[in-house]
Amino acid sequence: MNAFTQRLVRIEVEEPIRIPSTVPGEKARTILVKVPAMRDPKDGEIYFGVEASIILDKAKARHMGVLAPQELAELRKRLGLTQKEIAEVLQIGEKSWSRWETGREIVSRSLNLLLMALYEGRVNLPWLRAQCLQDKQPAPAPRLRSRGFEVLFQQGMTWNTLTDALRATRSAANLTGMHHYSHFAIYTHTPAMPAAKISPPPRAVTHSQASQFSAVKVPAECEELCVA
């Protein structure tokens, strides 16, 4: 032990912390936080230890609505991941995670939403890993219910050739003045089906809507799309 640290007297003080605003141009506000400190009776100097730093950084993070460095470390350890592994799952650089966890930088506000969901258990690691894998793999073909489509796919038809075929069928029907009534049911739970412009999601589309089929992006919640 040092003679200096032995003579310090434990006290409690209120320290100001500045909370930056998320509104551009708006000034930071200052709040007061009670923290443990030490006073040197010799000259009255006040010192803060790591304990106070943790309290002050946590208070700042809480008022900013972001996770504190210690909470990020706690989250990573709870998930049983190394810094490299969590960076991979979140699809960020390892250095970024390290900077946030060590308090070098305040965590990115956009990613903080996801981290908060993880921290509070509203999102779990398997789900996050599944998203990560999905992003790395090529989009799977839509799962089709219609027997006709299954056969076509077994014969090597791809999603693109299928939509081409539908377009061709429609064109032929238009040219001959006839409606094409082949019914196809398509499950759209895969990311291969793009995001939707139709609201509410259709259970079935009419012939005229079908003519826009290739341009229409179908939402994930749209279970079945019947092209008539």
Partner 1 sequence: MSIIIPQRWRTDVAAILDQAQEETILLRKRPRREWFNLDDEHTEFGLYALLADELSIAGNLYGKVHTDMVEEGECYSFSFRYRPPTAEGEIELYTKLNLLPDGQVVIIYSAHT
**Contact residues for partner 1, defined by CB under 8 A:** 1-5, 15-20, 28, 37-38, 42-43, 45-53, 56-57, 60, 69, 102-106
Residue number, 36 or 148, with CB nearest to partner 1: 36
- Quickly tell me which residue has 């509070």 as its tokens: 120
- The residue (of 56 and 89) whose beta carbon lies closer to partner 1 is 56
Smallest separation, CB 216 to partner 1 (Å)? 44
* Closest by CA position to 67, among listed 23, 20, 103, 121: 103
* Least gap, CB of 193 to partner 1 (angstroms): 41
Whole-angstrom CA distances from 179 to 165, 166, 173, 183, 209 are 15, 13, 6, 12, 13
**101/106 Cα distance (integer angstroms):** 9
Smallest separation, CB 165 to partner 1 (Å): 55
Nearer to partner 1, 38 or 185 (CB): 38
Minimal distance, residue 76 CB to partner 1, in Å: 16
- Within 10 angstroms of residue 6's Cβ, the number of other Cβ atoms is 7
